[in-house]
Structure 1
Amino acid sequence: MTETLTYSEWMVMNALWGKDPQPLSGVIEAMGETVDWSYRTYASYLKKLCDKGFVGFEAKGRDKFYYPLVPREDCIRAESRSLLKKVSARSKKDLLVCMIEESGLSSSDQAELRSLIEHLGDSK
């Protein structure tokens, strides 16, 4: 997968990942007050995501029940690749350091990251 999501599309996808298929009203409810969009705007983003192949739907009566077709991990990987392509080879370390510093990782996530870095060093 090479296509990435816009910020607003990420917000919609976050409302879908890890949940059962839901109607448009469920997506609106899941997003809560994070955005101040009209009903049409939600519908427009869902249509775009369907057209791009990120979201599917099942028609049940008059409702469409939306669900993600692309796992969160695949979207994160595509976004990461896109960002790394934009940065020169010498700046990649700086980018990663900045992302780690800005992320607010939990202690357990920090420990997991340390372990991964140590493992990468061992494989050389």
Structure 2
Amino acid sequence: MEPAEGRKMTETLTYSEWMVMNALWGRDPQPLSGVIEAMGGTVAWSYRTYASYLKKLCDKGFVGFEAKGRDKFYYPLVRREDCIRAESRSLLKKVSSRSRKDLLLCMIEESGLRDEDQAELKTLIDRLGESK
């Protein structure tokens, strides 16, 4: 199941919720055990903690599930791109307009972009300059 495209996000995810969502994006609906397996032991959570995060994400409208027998098969209701956009908007709101350039520079420096990504970013920046 593919999430709806371009959904306007009003909430953001916690770090732990991002981890769970990353285990769901790009995969078929999966039971709780599949989510745990997809996370590959990156956290030392109990079974109940995983279940709690999935319930929270369902309540917030980020995740849906399909009941099949006694199992629930979880899937994302939102696209990764829309969550990234919402996080970006949230971060920009927190930073004064004077500091936005510094924020963007810091993000670029910290990201470890590959050469081809840097070239693409430069092209985008050049296009921004042309549109003025």
Normalising by structure 1, we get a TM-score of 0.98
Please list every run of 5 or more consecutive structure 1 residues that lacks an aligned counterpart in the other structure: none
1:68 equivalent in structure 2: 76
1:44 equivalent in structure 2: 52
Which one has the bigger helix percentage? 1
Please list every run of 5 or more consecutive structure 2 residues that lacks an aligned counterpart in the other structure: 1-8
Matched, 1:110 2:130: no
Identity of aligned residues (%): 88
- 2:34 partner letter: G
**CA RMSD across the alignment:** 0.5
User: Can you list the C-alpha shifts for 1:63-114, whole angstroms capped at 9, x where unaligned?
Assistant: 1000000000000000000000000110000000000000011111111111
Normalising by structure 2, we get a TM-score of 0.93
1:57 equivalent in structure 2: 65
Residue 33 of structure 1: how far off its partner (Å): 1.5
1:4 equivalent in structure 2: 12
Higher RCO (C-alpha under 8 Å, 6+ residues apart):
2
**Size of the alignment, in residue pairs?**
124
Structure 1: which 4+ aligned runs deviate by more than 6 Å?
Answer: none
* Matched position secondary structure for 1:5: coil
Output the CA distance in 2 between the equivalents of 1:76 and 1:22.
Answer: 23
